[in-house]
Amino acid sequence: MISKKLAEAINKQINAEMWSAYLYLSMSMDTFSKGFKGIAHWFKVQFLEEQAHATIMINYLHAQNEKVMLTPIAKVRTEWDDILSTFEDTLLHEQGVTKMINNLCDIAAKDNDYASQNFLAWFVDEQVEEEQSVRDLIFQCKMANGNNAGMMMIDKELGARMYQAPAPLKQQ
């Protein structure tokens, strides 16, 4: 059984994950409108992943016999100056998500809630992967340095990304 404080924090995180999904869908629409269909596809996969993260948390609260409380999704930004700034905002966003996940871990640790600590460990690992992936994309964009051919190669590479359901969803 998890504490009410942790259940409330996970409910807030569910909302944050859905907001993240909405943000990535917006980034997909913006990059598509700029002609980068592959990068738009990459952001659509991010959109699906964030929805999956929310679903994993919903399933966990249900398993803990806790009520899920969905709240309105706040407005997201809809335009960015260029692809590099879009990825830079993505990294800042993922760093913020990491802080939120760490806060959940802190609550679970203070509660001596080992089941929740184990559950949250997957998200900690996921955030390391998310931040590294975006840092790599920022590096690639900077290396392309406005070179159209370089940006088209990045676009093509990202267009090949395939969505895979996260492991915790596959187990259910």
- Rounded Cα distance between 20 and 107, Å, is 22
| pTM score | 0.94
Residue-level pLDDT at 163: 87
Residue-level pLDDT at 147: 78
Residue-level pLDDT at 120: 98
**Residue 148 corresponds to which tokens in the numbers above?**
């159209």
Name the residue among 58, 60, 63, 67 with its Cα closest to residue 18: 58
**Residue 142 corresponds to which tokens in the numbers above?**
């900077």
State which CATH number among 1.10.3720.10, 1.10.1740.10, 1.20.1260.10, 2.40.30.10 fits the domain covering 4-167: 1.20.1260.10
Residue-level pLDDT at 36: 96
Residue-level pLDDT at 94: 98
Residue-level pLDDT at 172: 56
- The amino acid at residue 84 is L
Q: What stretches in the chain show pLDDT beneath 50?
A: none
